[in-house]
């Protein structure tokens, strides 16, 4: 029935938390964009959707901008042929961590709609035990189905109704921390391996693979090899330099300390990704509004393009 379809991936949101422009930011980029003086695009907070049959869609994280992203994507909207007026083609959500810009969209998916959420046990506990607002997802019995995922243990993606897709997801634990709102006492009770995941998703029909790494502090040999075996990778494009936010807003931590490999410099993502087979489509996402690469007239944007890499923007579609 669906043999002719390929895995389709939609980049619905390509910005880091805050979006571009960010409500309280007057950095060079945000200012120029607002004035209409930037050759660049506004961006919503990071969101990816993928499907292997163009009917059921899986969301990678749940952006605070999810409502607008759904409204700009007809495939994610309820069809007029549905049995009841309330339904959704969104089969499930896979969370990579508990960051607000990755989970707030779950609260937009209430309205008594049954949903399936995959997360590590620790991320599930942070949301359901520590944050009472998430009880809105569980007003009716069976409204939300949580499935705990374990690093390096592949699982088949399926909807809340149990209908399986042909997609297999393998999560990989990344060395990182829980968000600040979790607090150090609570974080100390939770497994550090369950704080942040990267995902590799394979369509078993076509053997095509994509990797999703919206927050990764370093691309080590094992990751470079793994990415080299994929057809498409969405890589952390948060900051251009390691000191970017420190210099601009006096942030206490460097990009790497915040869990984000910078694009430029030695062992930066541009240098490392450009060494990988050119047949792998490499797309930067989770781009912070301060990143100078957002200026498409600038040398940073040219550097990305000349390395054979893509600066992701909202609305991009990739067929595998």
User: Which residues are near Zn ion by CB under 5 A?
Assistant: 22, 25, 27, 30, 289
Minimum CB distance to Zn ion, residue 30 (Å): 3
Angle at CA of residue 108, ends 127 and 217, nearest 5°: 55
Q: Considering beta carbons, is residue 27 or 232 the nearer one to Zn ion?
A: 27
Tokens 């490999």 belong to: 261
Q: Which residues of 253-266 are buried (b: 16+ CB within 10 A; e: fewer)?
A: ebbeebbbbbbbee
Q: Considering beta carbons, is residue 37 or 161 the nearer one to Zn ion?
A: 37
Q: Considering beta carbons, is residue 264 or 289 the nearer one to Zn ion?
A: 289
Minimum CB distance to Zn ion, residue 263 (Å): 17
Q: Considering beta carbons, is residue 25 or 174 the nearer one to Zn ion?
A: 25
What DSSP state is assigned to residue 293?
A: G
Q: What is the chain's Cα-based Rg?
A: 19
Q: Considering beta carbons, is residue 15 or 88 the nearer one to Zn ion?
A: 15
Q: Rounded to whole angstroms, how far apart are CA atoms 285 and 214?
A: 7
Minimum CB distance to Zn ion, residue 41 (Å): 14
Specify the length of the chain in residues. 320
Minimum CB distance to Zn ion, residue 269 (Å): 21
Q: How many H helices and E strands in the chain?
A: 9, 14
Minimum CB distance to Zn ion, residue 290 (Å): 5
């Amino acid at each position: 029935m669906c043999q002719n379809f390929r895995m389709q991936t939609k980049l619905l949101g390509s910005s880091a938390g805050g979006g571009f422009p960010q409500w309280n930011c007057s950095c060079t980029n945000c200012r120029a964009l607002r004035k209409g003086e930037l050759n660049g695009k506004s961006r919503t907070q990071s969101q990816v959707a993928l499907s292997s049959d163009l009917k059921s869609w899986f969301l990678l994280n749940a952006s605070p901008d999810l409502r607008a992203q759904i409204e700009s994507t007809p495939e994610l909207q309820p069809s007029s042929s549905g049995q009841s007026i309330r339904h959704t083609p969104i089969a499930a959500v896979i969370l990579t961590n508990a960051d607000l810009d990755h989970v707030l969209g779950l609260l937009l998916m209430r309205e008594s709609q049954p949903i399936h959420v995959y997360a590590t046990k620790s991320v599930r506990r942070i949301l359901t035990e520590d944050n009472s607002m998430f009880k809105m997802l569980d007003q009716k019995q069976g409204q939300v189905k949580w499935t705990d995922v374990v690093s390096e243990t592949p699982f088949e993606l399926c909807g809340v109704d149990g209908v399986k897709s042909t997609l297999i997801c393998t999560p990989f634990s990344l060395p990182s921390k829980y968000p600040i709102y979790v607090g150090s006492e609570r974080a100390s009770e939770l497994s550090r391996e369950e704080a942040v995941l990267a995902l590799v998703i394979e369509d078993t029909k076509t053997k095509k693979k994509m990797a999703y790494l919206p927050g990764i502090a370093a691309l080590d040999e094992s990751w470079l090899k793994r990415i080299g075996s994929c057809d498409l990778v969405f890589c952390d494009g948060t900051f251009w330099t390691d000191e970017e936010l420190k210099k601009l807003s006096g942030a206490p931590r460097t990009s790497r300390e915040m869990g984000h490999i910078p694009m430029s410099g030695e062992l930066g993502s541009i240098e490392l990704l450009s060494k990988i087979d050119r047949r792998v489509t490499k797309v930067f996402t989770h781009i912070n509004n301060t990143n100078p690469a957002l200026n498409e007239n600038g040398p940073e944007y040219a550097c990305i393009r000349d390395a054979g890499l893509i600066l992701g923007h909202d609305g991009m579609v990739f067929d595998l």
